[in-house]
Amino acid sequence: MGESKTLYVGCDSLDADEIRLAASKALEALKKTNVRTVAIGTYSNDCPGINIKALVEGFILGSYTFDTYKSKKEPSKLETITICLEDCSRVDLSLETATKALRAATIVAEATNFAKAIVNATPEDMTPIALAEMAQTLTSIPNVTCKVMDETFLKEQGMNAFLAVNRASVHPPRLIHLTYKPENAKKRLVYVGKGLTYDSGGLSLKPSEHMVTMKADKSGAAAVMAILKGAATLALPYEIHAIIGATENMIGGNAYKPDDVLVAKNGKTIEVRNTDAEGRLVLADCLCYAQELGPDLLVDMATLTGACVVALGEYTTGIMGHSSELKHSMLKASTASGELSGSLPFNKYLKKLLKSSVADMSNISTSRYGGAITAGLFLDNFIEEAHKDKWLHLDIAGPAYIEKAWGYNQFGASGAGVRMNLYWMIDDTKRGDQ
């Protein structure tokens, strides 16, 4: 038997996210050793189930490595982590309750890591067709189905804004529609994800230094896929749809141009003033398609604006929508999950900045200020009146992909938005049971 050793990790408090961070830091230290087994307590006499979930999430999120393109892999020698329940003596914690907490946390964290892997994949490997193939692998989960529609379908549906963005790419577009449909579903939740597998900026070409990391412009697509994966694996009582507009935004003789006027699926016309404001064009058509499903909750997720990063910082998701109650509930779920988010208010005066003299609207604002909000207000043009109070727009441009490690997130993709939405669903299930 080998010598037993103790590793101490500082923890600012016993709040759930501090526990996640401590678990991740411990794992990072252990990766550099030959340790194969670890035992740890729950560090709680009040809500050990929450601490167990936080520990498990911290370990799994912290264990993620992206070494697909490395010729030399460096696997950890750690094999087993045991969570000991002896320090929960003042609380009646059954093994069954602890096991449920462990399972839920494992599913949520693994779904997040699933999103990370998709986002980190290169644009050469993760084309729109490859993204659709990845979505189809989720049909191995009970009650999950997947439909993939091509450019012929997009033309039939009048999704001309989406098609315009794709025109200069050699890779054809795909509209991906994943469905999780359990028996006796309580609500219908529809998620729409921006799936730009690469964004060069189009003819409004990005500077070269800003083009690096644009493989991450599919982070919204990866998130909605991962949310459905997590919810279906947890067997949550919701009918869930994940709608993804998958395409590249490239340059070429057939590229769409500034000054073009596009007709979206709902018949509204859009003056193109910047081809690098392409994500909102794809989302506009996808949101029109999504609303035909009659959602009880409609959420779009996108790395939409650099302006959101300016407003809230690199690590924080911007939450926008018309319903204060809905925004607050997502903010609360975000905090519980450990994700950072902030609410950005819609402003009727900013909406005027999207006016066009030749079409119903412009795809960019006439002002450099408030860009995250004007992007959300652009999307609002494609939300029907009946769905406005059911809709949330999540701009994940800040936290989706960071070129430095932070917290329990590695260099690269963080799986932004996955945990907060799964926590929102789990919390909503509890509210429904009360």
- What secondary structure does DSSP assign to 26-76, as a single string? HHHHHTTS---EEEE----SS-HHHHHHHHHHHHHHHH----TT-SS----
Secondary structure E strands in 101-256: 144-149, 174-180, 187-199, 238-249
Q: Residue 140: pLDDT band by 50, 70, 90 thresholds? A: very high
For domain 108-433, the CATH superfamily is Zn peptidases (3.40.630.10)
Q: Mean pLDDT over all residues of the chain?
A: 95
Q: What average pLDDT does the segment 222-235 reach?
A: 98
Q: What average pLDDT does the segment 259-269 reach?
A: 98
Percent of the chain with pLDDT over 90: 88
Q: What is the pLDDT of residues 80-119, one digit of tens each?
A: 999 988 876 656 678 888 899 999 999 999 999 999 999 9
Q: What average pLDDT does the segment 263-267 reach?
A: 98
Token pair recorded at residue 19: 């526990």
Active-site residue among 103, 188, 206, 332? 206
Q: What average pLDDT does the segment 287-300 reach?
A: 98
pLDDT at 1: 44
206 is an active site residue: yes
Token pair recorded at residue 299: 């959420």
- In angstroms, rounded to a whole number, what is the distance separating the alpha carbons of residues 322 and 252? 39
CB 177 within 8 A of CB 147: yes
Query: pLDDT at residue 29 above 60?
Result: yes
Q: What average pLDDT does the segment 117-136 reach?
A: 98
Q: Please state, as a whole number, how many other Cβ atoms lie within 10 Å of the Cβ of residue 433.
A: 7
- In angstroms, rounded to a whole number, what is the distance separating the alpha carbons of residues 256 and 202? 8
Strand partners, 319: 343, 394
The end-to-end CA distance of the chain, in Å, is 51
Query: pLDDT at residue 432 above 70?
Result: no
Spatial CA neighbour of 405 closest among 8, 35, 27: 27
Q: What is the pLDDT of residues 352-375, one digit of tens each?
A: 999 999 999 999 999 999 999 999
Active-site residue among 280, 351, 390, 419? 280
Q: Which residue type, as a one-letter code, is found at position 397?
A: A
194 is an active site residue: no
- Per CATH, which fold does 16-89 belong to? Leucine Aminopeptidase, subunit E; domain 1 (3.40.220)
Strand partners, 82: 39
CATH 3.40.630.10 intervals, the chain: 108-433
Q: What average pLDDT does the segment 167-172 reach?
A: 98
CATH 3.40.220.10 intervals, the chain: 16-89
Q: Residue 280: pLDDT band by 50, 70, 90 thresholds? A: very high
